[in-house]
Structure 1
Amino acid sequence: MKYRGILRASALAVIVACTSSGAAQAQSITQALTAAYEHAPDLQAALLSAKASAENIVQAKSGKLPTVGASIGGTQSFSNASGQALLLGDHPVSSSQLQAGLSYNQTIFDNFQTDAQIEAARAGAEAAEYQLRNTEQNVLLQVVQAYMAVLSGRELLALREENLRFFEAQLQSAQDRLDVGEGTRIDVAQAQARLAQGQAAYRAAQGTLETSQATFQRYVGARPQNLSPGHNYGNLIPRTLEAALGEAELGHPAILLAKAGIRAAQAGSDAAQAAGGPTASVSGSLGTNWSQSNRGGAGTGGWSASLGFQVSIPIYSGGRIGSAVRKANLEQIKSEVDAMSAYDQIREAVISAWSGIQSADAQIQAAQAAVSSSNTVLEGVIQERDLGTRTTLDVLNAQADLTTARESLINASSNKTIATFSLLNAMGRLTARDLGLAVEIKTAVPYTQAVEDVWQELRTVVE
């Protein structure tokens, strides 16, 4: 009868683990997400990429602004004016020259090509910001997946350990029954075989858990502690699938990224067409020079200034302009196709995640019922075995059914959590801001606003 105590203790292990494993000092999902947001290299790389894209705006705007330069130079020359060999005491003729000047160049009209390039650069910077948000969502979802892999892996490992204790007890029981003449060697052999299988399953669970913990550390930057499955992010899920689809279509960063890509491609097409038009530019210079000779006399100096303009009209470019226009038009069409594909993919992801939540709920209910019934069956089989109407193999098979039901409950609970966060990801709401994480939001918007001040470089020089 002592085996029933072991049975009852192990029967509640999975359910109890879900409530007792999140004791004091537990590492919650929120804490893991917060640590990963600060640590993730992929997120930092996406932020730097967005800032780099903002610099394209500055470079494009420079096409409409003047370039101003200053120069200064001088020469010192020596010569023998007579053309004869120098005698002792003779000195060569030397002269000094110094020049200084300012230059100014500006394109005053380029058929609006620069305007189109600025718009393309701004759309590209916007797309990079949405790419940052998309990367953020993917990183946070990977963290949740790693978190639940460790949590479920620990529960499965505990279940494997309980199985080992059960099989060891059954093997000892079979051996004791054989020793008193109530059992058979077949019962002992079957118990030994199940114990060996249980040991192999235990080692496999250990290896899987170690891999999951390494993945967790890669994303979060620290080893997993006492994990707790609880979270309050389910309130972010809408009540209907239609509402979830509506949120995704309006605010998912992948869709917004695709829209920005269309804008960039349209501006690129405009810039390519503008390249075939006329351009006009002005230039000017102001300079002074001074010279002095060692032959005596005062130095001479003067100044000069010039102002000019140039109008250029392309006539034939060897097919380069026409090819650039056709290529830009094709890229614009491709951007629209990519946007339609993004809509379809996001819609599919929302429906899949929504179905995953419904399926996980059904699996949890079924697994809970299976655990309860399998536990009752196992207790009955053990009693019948003790009365001699069942064999050790019947007990081992009943234990296997109970183990399978417990595994299903662990996996279904993990799948429910992952499906919840997958739906938030598909809706575009798996972000630090939506989750309320206590972090400084990573964004390139302030950097973009700062670098668009293209006169900053000139003010720095003057100061």
Structure 2
Amino acid sequence: MKQHHFLAAAALALCAVSAQATDLMQAWQAARQHDPQAAVADAARAAGETRRAQAASLWRPNVALSGGAGRMSANSATSGAQFAAPGFGQSSGVSFDTSVNNGSSTRWSVTARQPLYNPERSAQRQQLEIGADSADLQWQAAQQDLMLVTTQRYFDMVLAERKLALLRQQQTAVDRAFTEAKDRFELGDAPITDTHEASARARGLQAQVLAAQSELELAQTILLDATGLSPDALQVMAPAGEVAPRDLPPLAQWLTLAQENNPLLRLQRANADAARQETRKHSALAAPTLDLVAQAGRERLSGSGDFGAASNTSRQQMIGLQLNVPLYTGGMRSAKLDEALRLEDKARAEVELASQQTRQQTRAAWLGLQTGQARLSALAEAVTASQARLGATRLGRQVGDRTTLDLLNAENDASAADLALLQARIEVLQNRLRLQALAGQLDEAQLLQVSALLQN
């Protein structure tokens, strides 16, 4: 409860920083409520939870009531019977005949059955319990995946906005250079090539701006569809400052956490357990079963027949043990068992494959974080150097030491360096969240820490 209060307070604090901006945490909370992927995960988890009740019901008694009514004819003939009654003595070789034609027939019975020993049911119960656990793991994996997808969509819009802004800034500079080159050519102070170079660059930038506008519109639409926010309320923020973690635990620690806690890897292990129980279930088809059975019933036939009015009533009550021993199934049991054994081998191989992929992905994310700080420092220095070069090139262009093409190239390089730094910061943050997800530790607290690194 304290953690939830802390998350709520921190989210409110972030909102107070910028009332207009939408931070990553707000985007996630909106996606959690609106994205169909979240609804699918919640429904699947709720459905999986019902398997626990199914598992428990396998060892509870089953009670059934059956009844029927209709018209019935019955005739019976008994000969060679012995008859004795008070006052009549004893007679042998007596015959009895009964007859009911189109009489009224009613019957009912109640049967209760309690399994006592049933290996197949034991395996089924284990499978259902594993299925419920698997549903929880699938939900956890879906939650983490939705966090990563929401983060990717958010940062895609951040990059698209920055790219468009830089292109427009560059376009303004190119238009200014084009006007200046044309004026200087008319004065005879610059060759016509400067005008052509500036014009060609301006047309190329115009095409890039149109493409960037489409890219931004698409990124915005995807994020709006996922969060349900209005376009006016969606103002994303970009990462700034130090985004790489200061103290990164060693790779061996992350690999251990991932092997123990990765939800998809744990899900594969659960599937392997279910496959083993399937093998056990088919092996148990040849095993005997023992049930406690209780039954009570009544049958009545009444009407008239060849000998006048007649009726027959029969009542049964029984309680005892019922033993079933399978003898021959036509080869189906052995065929099913062979299939289950092969599927068990497949499930074990899938666990090994998932373990290998998890190790590789964990190593890649960790290496991305380990080199992230050095990479960011280098790119920050590149931005500073490109801005210094741009300033020097502008000055050189004014005094005639640099051409218009030199200035345009400097403008382009400065914009590219700025965009590369932003992209590197985003990749570091994504690797940070990805590493947490691989270790099964990505939650709202981790997402909130990343959201705090964004600035409007």
SS at match of 1:68: strand
Which residue matches 1:228?
Answer: 237
SS at match of 2:328: coil
Which of 376, 392, 395 is equivalent to 2:388? Answer: 376
Measured after TM superposition, the shift of residue 347 of structure 1 is 1.5
Which residue matches 2:177?
Answer: 170
Which residue matches 2:31?
Answer: 36
The answer as to whether partners of 2:243 and 2:429 remain within 8 angstroms in 1 is no
SS at match of 1:406: helix
Measured after TM superposition, the shift of residue 192 of structure 1 is 0.7
Q: How does 1:13-24 map to 2 (within 5 A)?
A: 23-24=18-19
Structure 2 residue identity aligned to 1:363: R
Which of 286, 292, 296 is equivalent to 1:286? Answer: 296
Q: Does 1:334 align with 2:343?
A: no
The answer as to whether partners of 1:61 and 1:114 remain within 8 angstroms in 2 is no
CA gap 1:361/1:391 in 2 versus in 1, 3 angstroms: same
CA gap 1:125/1:155 in 2 versus in 1, 3 angstroms: same
Which residue matches 2:84?
Answer: none
Which residue matches 1:11?
Answer: none
Which residue matches 2:441?
Answer: 429
Q: How does 1:12-91 map to 2 (within 5 A)?
A: 23-75=18-70
Which residue matches 1:252?
Answer: 262
The answer as to whether partners of 2:380 and 2:421 remain within 8 angstroms in 1 is yes
Which residue matches 1:277?
Answer: 287
The answer as to whether partners of 2:304 and 2:310 remain within 8 angstroms in 1 is no
Measured after TM superposition, the shift of residue 234 of structure 1 is 7.3
Equivalent-residue separation in structure 2 for 1:393 and 1:367 (angstroms): 24
SS at match of 1:211: helix
Q: How does 1:24-423 map to 2 (within 5 A)?
A: 24-75=19-70, 96-110=104-118, 112-223=119-230, 225-229=234-238, 238-289=248-299, 303-307=315-319, 310-423=322-435
Count of matched residue positions in the alignment of Structure 1 and Structure 2: 401
SS at match of 2:19: coil
Measured after TM superposition, the shift of residue 377 of structure 1 is 1.6
Equivalent-residue separation in structure 2 for 1:236 and 1:253 (angstroms): 27
Stretches of structure 2 lacking an aligned partner (at least 5 in a row): 1-16, 74-100, 450-456
Residues 209-259 of structure 1: CA deviation (Å, up to 9, x unaligned): 111112212332325612224599977985322222222222111222122
Measured after TM superposition, the shift of residue 316 of structure 1 is 2.9
Equivalent-residue separation in structure 1 for 2:247 and 2:126 (angstroms): 36
Equivalent-residue separation in structure 1 for 2:353 and 2:186 (angstroms): 71
Residues 91-117 of structure 1: CA deviation (Å, up to 9, x unaligned): xx996554443223344333x221111
CA gap 1:114/1:434 in 2 versus in 1, 3 angstroms: farther
Residues 159-183 of structure 1: CA deviation (Å, up to 9, x unaligned): 1110111011111111111222212
Equivalent-residue separation in structure 2 for 1:433 and 1:284 (angstroms): 57
CA gap 1:123/1:237 in 2 versus in 1, 3 angstroms: farther
Moved more, 396-405 or 145-154: 396-405
The answer as to whether partners of 1:113 and 1:275 remain within 8 angstroms in 2 is yes
Structure 1 residue identity aligned to 2:236: L
The answer as to whether partners of 1:156 and 1:410 remain within 8 angstroms in 2 is no
CA gap 1:238/1:399 in 2 versus in 1, 3 angstroms: closer
Equivalent-residue separation in structure 1 for 2:162 and 2:282 (angstroms): 61
Two-structure CA RMSD over aligned residues (Å): 3.1
Residues 341-393 of structure 1: CA deviation (Å, up to 9, x unaligned): 22221111111111222344333222221221122222222222222222212
* TM-score when normalising by structure 1: 0.77
* TM-score when normalising by structure 2: 0.78
Stretches of structure 1 lacking an aligned partner (at least 5 in a row): 1-21, 79-92, 438-463
Measured after TM superposition, the shift of residue 149 of structure 1 is 0.7
Equivalent-residue separation in structure 2 for 1:237 and 1:429 (angstroms): 17
Equivalent-residue separation in structure 2 for 1:64 and 1:237 (angstroms): 53
Structure 1 or 2: more strand by fraction: 2
Equivalent-residue separation in structure 2 for 1:183 and 1:229 (angstroms): 41
Measured after TM superposition, the shift of residue 408 of structure 1 is 1.2
Which residue matches 2:89?
Answer: none
SS at match of 1:316: coil
Equivalent-residue separation in structure 2 for 1:214 and 1:185 (angstroms): 44
The answer as to whether partners of 2:251 and 2:363 remain within 8 angstroms in 1 is yes
Which residue matches 1:446?
Answer: none
The answer as to whether partners of 1:116 and 1:270 remain within 8 angstroms in 2 is yes
